[in-house]
Amino acid sequence: MSASSSTSSTDSKDTFLYFAFGSNLNSKRIHVNNPSAKRKGVGLLKNYRLDFNRYSERWKGSVATVVPDQDEEVWGALWEIDVKDMDNLDRQEGVERNIYRVFHPTIHVELNETAFHSETDSSFNNKTSSDNETEPAFNNETSSHSETESSFNNETPPISVNTVTARCYELIAVDPPGSDKRPSVTYLDVVIKGALESKLPEKYVHKLRRIEKKDEGINEEMEDEGEEQEGSTDIMKGSISF
């Protein structure tokens, strides 16, 4: 595997890079508000962990964020988005309402031939445990980078490994200690589908499947309703995607 130690934002004046780790892993979700988004590869955010720290009425459960943690890492999708969509993305993440804040971490990204233009891969097959399995703490089984790298997109030879600077979002409006931090079954399903679509490492998808979740959620049949109404349960519409 060839590697490059250079660091680059790879942004042009017309586009920027965005690292997604929650529902925006899912191409259907991100394209609602950011139609210009193009998948560029799979990224790894080191020294952070995935967590769920704020209840969302829309999702009926807690939503994802990243939290500094020297012993952990978060896999996600790297998207290239037109600058004209940046305000849409900020609005979606509730930046103006001080729900999430923007930061620009270094992302380790492995680029491959299919990552530039592939939006879905319905044939992606990974063997995981039943969705009924749960673990109380998401980060109990975190593997090292070397362990997960072997399962990363084995079918396509990598072009290069780089570090890039990307736009990312972390929660600043979090629920108090002791709150129910479990995501809803619907939210977690959207995240897992996006992880499969993004071809995140099998071990990481396995961990996502084992996150303890709330049984309540949004009816999947509401997914494609076009009209947004107060209290709508359309999971692919509206602001705050997380």
Which residues fall in the annotated binding site?
18-23
Distances (CA, A) of 232 to 16, 31, 88, 183, 225: 31, 19, 20, 18, 9
Task: Pull the structure tokens for residue 3.
Answer: 């590697």
Active site residues: 93
Quick check: helix, strand or coil at residue 195? helix
- For 4-29, the DSSP string reads ---EE----SSEEEEEE-SGGGSHHH
Q: List residues forming the annotated binding site for substrate.
A: 18-23
Q: How many CB atoms lie within 10 A of CB 180?
A: 10
User: What's the sign of the alpha-carbon dihedral 143, 144, 150, 152?
Assistant: positive
Q: How far apart are CA 92 and CA 33, in angstroms?
A: 7
> Could you tell me which of 239, 206, 209, 236 has the C-alpha nearest to residue 223?
236
Strand ranges inside the chain, DSSP E: 7-8, 15-20, 38-56, 61-82, 100-103, 106-112, 158-165, 168-171
